Structures are given as structure tokens and as C-alpha cells.
A and B are shown apart, each in its own frame.
Chain A
Amino acid sequence: MSEKDFILAGEGLNRSFDGFKAISNLNFYMDTGELRTVIGPNGAGKTTFLDLITGRTKPDTGTIVFAGEHELTRMNEYQIYRLGIGRKFQTPTVYVEHTVFDNLLLSLGGSRTVFSTIFARVTAEQRERIHEILKTIGLDHRAEALAGSLAHGQKQWLEIGMLLAQDARLLLVDEPAAGMTDEETAKTGELLLSLAGKHSIIVIEHDMVFVRQIARKVTVLHQGTILCEGTVDEVQNNERVIEVYLGRKART
């Protein structure tokens, strides 16, 4: 496979915080259109990994190449975003004082300069696109509600919708099922599955039921490096994984 086919290729990544190695010699490759699930115990470096991709922190060493051509470690958050990498945070971060519609409007592609926003008008095309997304995420009846008034699960979907609005090529989704009811979790899984293929998606998750629902290829992180990769069954039967992650989880 040529390098061009990877949507994301991280090589030789290291990042430590005050001597603690959050990411240690990590190599990570992902195909275009793939839905990848990343699991790992607390402190395995999952969130730091996303921070590295999105420019929130810089690696001490190593490179991250997006779509075979962009070296992400040299860019800042909004530049990386503009390449088409969207991130959903662990706790839903939507604009609580804005309507659901406006949340999506702010996320739609287009110019992001100060003056273009001052004179921007909402076009019929944009309106249509927003309603399309609202349908996808199941919030079409709440378009005019303040985002702060949404239920927890709905906020998570809205945030995923905001990533769709930007037409992100790579979606980074951090623990989407956290704090959701079983029904909401299942719906979230369906939503992510329906998006795979069109977008490349990395999902970080703890909830194994959810992982089973969505996972195709699973990457297990441990102490900042990849422990193993494979299908859910392969991973769950891997002895080292059982030892460090599932085994520990079973004991608690």
C-alpha cells in the first residue's frame, strides 16, 4: 500500500509531561474511510493522542502526516481544522447560548476571517445543508432550541453534527457514549456507522458493548504505545490485552 492511501500516519511519536511518558514511540496508520476504535485503560494516552493530531499539544519527537501531504505537528488548531480534521470532545462542547441551528451555522465550511463574518448572510443553500444535518443527527425538531437546553445525548449528537457541517474528512470522536443511556448509545453507534466510509473516523471509547457495536478494527493503547491491533474478538482474546486492560477491568 502506498503512503497516499493513509488518511493519517503517525510515526515515532513521543510526548512526556514532567517525566511522565504520555505517548511513547507510537506508530499509527489509518486508511481513508476507515472507522477505527481506540481503547485502552485510563492514562493510556488516548486523549493526548487526539491532542497531538489536533495541534493542542506538540510531540517531543515524531511526525503526523495527514492525507499523505500535511505535516500536522507544525500547524496550530485552526489550521489543522481547516484541513478537514474535526474533533468531538469528551464532554460535549457546544455553544450553550446559541440555538442548535446557529451551532451548526458557525461550523459550516466557508471563510473564517473577521470581515467575512461581519458581512456574512445565511444562504438558502446553507439553510438546506443545516436541515439535512439536523435530520442526520435526529435534531430537526429542536433547530431553534438553545443548545444548553438539550439533553446530554442530544448535545453529543449536535457536536457530531458540527463536525459534519465542516465536511471533516477525519472525525476524532472522544468517548461519545459517556454518560448516555443504552438507547442513546445505540443510536450514537448507528450514527457513527452511517458516517464511516464517507468520512474517516477515530473513536475513543471505554464502553465495550458500544465498541462491539461499532468496531471494525480496534487499536489498543497502553502506556502511550500500541499494544495490539485487530478485530474486537482478536483483541479480546489477546493475552497481553487481557492482562493490562480487560483483566484489570474484570477485577474491579
Chain B
Amino acid sequence: MADAPKKPSPTTLVTLGFALLIVVIVPILNAFLPEANFLHISDFTLNLWGKYFTYAVLALSIDLLWGYTGLLSLGQALFFALGGYALGMHLMLMIGKLGQYHSDLPDFMVFLGYDQLPWFWEPFRNFGFAMLGVILVPGLLALVFGYLAFRSRIRGVYFSILTQALTYAACLMFYRNEFAFGGNNGFTDFKTLVGYDLREAGTQRGLYIASALLLLGVFFFCRWLTTTKFGKVQRAIRDGETRVLFTGYAAANFKLFVFVVAAIIAALGGALYVPQVGIINPGDMAPEKSLEAVVWVAVGGRGTLFGPIIGAIGVNALKSYTTRAFPEYWLIIEGLLFILVVLFMPKGLVGVYGQIRAAIAARKERMS
């Protein structure tokens, strides 16, 4: 039953082929083909896709909660942003004296009249520590928040509202200048990451590859996790939490585990997002950011692993196009898209094929 198949399934082959394409072939097309060649992929496009992949990682983390455990988090972008901020602190310190004020302190601190670095900034000079921060800060926040919420048996829409409130509260806090995280300007003007110049095409290509690898890693991790017995308990909680409790599982512990894992996944996505986009500010924690990410998952198809990836990339590609072609209409289009999906494609884009097949089968039944 749960035994691994001997031969790789067609889905695995397609996935591996796709992995090869995005990790190896696309960067080669970017690096080695002349710009005139029609297969050439521009630095701009590559950077855009790197960003999409980090969004896809965020979408997967939402799906792990919403699609597989029935926990609709409306604050997942908070963890994405916290991951970004943690790496951002390191990037800010690496600017060194290259900033506008030529001070060892980050520009915003000089501007706000700091004369020395707050103590909690100091260890972020170390890249390893910053990466640890990327994992631990969102992980611990999720652990504490999740523990309190799940222990109190907060479920359904109440859980969603609480997560939304959490991200909003964090957003307001980060907007404050005295919070020492750059206020509404956030972090920007990054120069180097582990010694590589962030404005170099080669560095950006490396970040793109890292994003593609992260996406693949998270995808395979989720695929593995959801097929274990743990994954079965996860879906059982989604479909009948009362039964799970009356089968002796402490559902709260399972939810807490998924919540923390999802927060860390989102944070890793955020950490790769920031150096590619070059800026992070409290706007990335605003409630609508989390809502947008939920829309990607709904459009792509929740409860599947391809769905959120397709949704995140598809919706954002559409957004990039629309905001250039008809900038005023993007929000209307996004809203319409969401309504259409909810009304006609409950399983999202990846579910359409199954829906069509079911419709044909039902029609055949009626004919005979």
C-alpha cells in the first residue's frame, strides 16, 4: 500500500524533467546564449522567475496548512517576511561603509540618531547566524502562537482571523521607527551577500538557482511528509478532527508541528526573496499579502502539491503582465479570478481535468 513503487511513476519523471529544466537549462540559456538568440533568457526574466519560485514556496507552506490540515492561515506572509527580515539584517550590516552616510551603522539608524548598533543586531554580522535566525525567529513565533491557539482549541474561521490579526499587529510594529527595523522604509540598498555583489548578473543567477532548488526541495519534502502516516493523520484532522481526538491522537500537537514547519518553509522562501527583490519593508506583512497568497493556492488547487506552485507562478505572471498593460484593473481581475475559481473550480486549475472527466462520465451515464 504505502510501499514505494519500483519504477518511477510518470509524475516523477515529469517532475524530474521539470527540475532539470529550471535548475540547469534555464540558467544556461541565460548565461551562455547571446542576447540576440530567441532562446536567450534575459536577466530580468530570470530574476522574475526566481521571485515567482519563492512565492511558490510560500504557497506550498499555505497548502500544507490549508489544503492538507484544514487550517486556513491568513497570516502566512508574516513568516515569509520575517525570514526576509532576518536575512535582511545581515545584508544591511554587509553594506558597511558603502551606505549614504558612510557609517558602520545601517543608514536608517544614522538617520534616526543611533550611535551604536542595538545588541540584537550584532550577531547578524555572521551569515550562519543570520540563516539560523531565518529559521528560528519565525519557527519560535509559530511555536508560541500555535501552542496558545491550538491548546485553546481555536479552530476554523477564528483561527484564520487570529492569524490575520497576528500579521497585522506585526506589520504595525515594524512600521514604528523605534522598533529598530527600519520603520516604513524597511531594508534596502543591499550590496553584497557572502562576498558576492548583488548587482552582478552571476549573483542573481546563483540566487535564481538557489530558489529553484529550494522550491524542489520543499516540494519533495511535502510530497514525502504527506504520504507518511503523519500525512494521513494530517488529512484526518482536516476531515474529522473530533474523530481524531477520539482515536487518541493529540490533534493539537499535530497541528502545532505542521504550523511550525510551514512557518519555517515560508521563512526560507522569504530569505531568498529579499536579495532578489532588493527590498523588504512592513508592507510585505500587510494582511493583503497573506490573502493574495491564499488566492494563489485556491487558484492552483489546494490539497495538491502542483496546484500551489502553478497558482503562485500563474497568478504572479498574470499580475506582472496586467500591472504593466492595465495597471488600474489588476485588483478587479484578481478578485474576479478568485470568485470564478471558488464558484466553478473548487479544486483549482489542477482539478479542471478531473472535473471535465467527471462531467463526461456523468453525461455518458445519463445517455445510457
Taking the complex as formed, is B178 at the interface, i.e. its CB lies under 8 A from any CB of chain A?
Answer: no
Q: Is A114 an interface residue, CB under 8 A from the partner?
A: yes
Tell me whether A166 and B248 are in contact (CB under 8 A): yes
Contact mask for chain A residues 84-105; partner B; CB cutoff 8 A; 1 contact, 0 none:
0011010001111110011001
The reply to whether the CB of A215 lies closer than 8 angstroms to some CB of chain B is: no
- Enumerate chain A residues within 8 angstroms of B240, measured Cβ to Cβ: 93-96
Number of A-B residue pairs with CB-CB distance less than 8 Å in the complex they form: 78
Q: How many B residues, CB 8 Å from partner?
A: 26
Interface residues of B in 229-261 (CB under 8 A from A): 229-230, 232-233, 235-236, 238-240, 242-251, 253-254, 257
**Contacts of A28-67 to chain B: CB distance below 8 A:** 54
B220 shortest CB reach to chain A, Å: 15
Give the residues from 101 to 139 in chain A that come closer than 8 angstroms, CB to CB, to chain B: 101-102, 105-107, 112-114, 117-122, 127
CB nearest neighbor in B for A114 = B257
User: CB < 8 Å: which of A86, A94, A113, A120 contacts B228?
Assistant: A120
A82-B248, A114-B257, A166-B248 known; A95-B229 Cβ under 8 A? no
From A81, A101, A105, B246 is in contact (CB under 8 Å) with A81
> Does B1 sit at the interface, judged by CB under 8 A?
yes
With the chains together, A107 CA to B247 CA distance in Å?
6
A234 contacts across to B, CB distance below 8 A: none
- A243 within 8 Å of B (CB atoms): no
> Within 8 Å of chain A (Cβ to Cβ): is B340?
no
B228, B242, B245 interface centre (most CB from chain A within 10 Å)? B245
Contact of B332 with A by CB under 8 A: no
B residues less than 8 Å from A113 (CB atoms) = 253
Q: How far is the CB of B361 from chain A (nearest CB, A)?
A: 15
Closest to B303 in A: A97
> Is B235 a contact partner of A77 (Cβ separation < 8 A)?
no
Say yes or no: A78 contacts B236, CB within 8 Å: no
In the bound assembly, the distance between CA atoms of A186 and B229 in angstroms comes to: 35
Bitwise interface map of B from 1 to 38 toward A, beta carbon under 8 Å scored 1, else 0: 11000000000000000000000000000000000000
A8 within 8 Å of B (CB atoms): no
Using A93-B242, A94-B240, A117-B233 as known contacts, say yes or no to A78 and B250 having CB atoms under 8 A apart. yes
Contact of B239 among A95, A114, A121 (CB under 8 A): A95
Q: Are B229 and A78 in contact (CB under 8 A)?
A: no
Are B233 and A106 touching (Cβ within 8 A)? yes
B232 touches A105 (CB 8 A): yes
Chain A hits for B232, CB < 8 A: 98, 102, 105-106, 117
Instruction: Check if B236 sits within 8 Å of A118, measured CB to CB.
Output: no
Quick one: closest A residue to B2, CB to CB? A122
User: Taking the complex as formed, is B339 at the interface, i.e. its CB lies under 8 A from any CB of chain A?
Assistant: no
User: Does the CB pair A95–B228 fall under 8 Å?
Assistant: no
Query: Is B157 interfacial (CB-CB < 8 Å)?
Result: no
Residues of chain A contacted by B244 (CB below 8 angstroms): 106
B342 at the interface (CB under 8 A from A): no
Contact, CB under 8 Å: B239 / A98: yes
* Interface pair B248/A119, CB less than 8 Å apart: no
Task: Judge whether B225 is part of the interface by a CB distance below 8 angstroms.
Answer: yes
A172 and chain B: residue at smallest CB distance: B246
**A162, B240: Cα distance in complex, Å:** 14
Q: Is the CB of B246 within 8 A of A118?
A: no
User: What is the chain B residue whose CB lies nearest that of A84?
Assistant: B248
Q: CA–CA, A223 to B186, complex, Å? A: 65
Q: Which residues of B contact A78 (CB under 8 A)?
A: 245-246, 248-251
A96-B240, A120-B230 known; 13 new pairs, CB 8 Å cut-off, are A81-B246, A81-B247, A87-B246, A89-B243, A95-B236, A97-B238, A98-B236, A106-B249, A117-B229, A117-B230, A118-B228, A118-B229, A122-B1
**CB pairs A–B below 8 angstroms (6 shown):** A95-B243, A97-B239, A106-B229, A114-B254, A117-B229, A118-B230
